[in-house]
Amino acid sequence: MKNLPIWVIKTNGINHVPVPSQFYHLFGINGKKYLKQAEQLVLFWNFTNFGLRSRRMREKQNLKKSELVYNRILIAKILKLLS
């Protein structure tokens, strides 16, 4: 359990939620892909906090609205499993 790489998911500009690398095992091979999606969503959230328009940011991050909803649910599930 020592020296596990920690990925930090920022849910907003203030809170930091550490997610251990064991997270991959919860989702098997797709774990890395899901983490990447979560990171993209985090970028989206952080930029909207600084007042950029959602649509522009979505286009910039190349994320569709449905993907954002899916990712939000996914992150919620991940955090629930880890808590």
Looking at residue 11, its pLDDT comes to: 43
CB 42 within 8 A of CB 69: no
Is there a domain that residue 40 lies in? yes
Task: Give CA–CA dist 35/44, Å, rounded.
Answer: 14
Which neighbouring-strand residues pair with 10? 16
Task: Give residue 61's domain range.
Answer: 25-82
Tell me if the pTM is above 0.85.
no
Is there a domain that residue 49 lies in? yes
Is there a domain that residue 61 lies in? yes
Query: Per-residue pLDDT tens for 25-70?
Result: 555 555 556 556 665 555 544 444 443 445 665 566 665 555 555 5
Q: What is the number of domains present in the chain?
A: 1
Is there a domain that residue 20 lies in? no
Question: pLDDT category, 74, cuts 50, 70, 90?
Answer: low
Is there a domain that residue 11 lies in? no
Burial state string for 45-56 with b = 16 or more CB within 10 A and e = fewer than 16: bebeeeeeeeee
Is there a domain that residue 7 lies in? no
Is there a domain that residue 12 lies in? no
Mean pLDDT of 67-80: 62
Which contacts (CB < 8 Å, 24+ apart) does range 77-80 have? 78/19, 78/23, 78/26, 78/34, 78/38, 79/17, 79/19
Is there a domain that residue 17 lies in? no
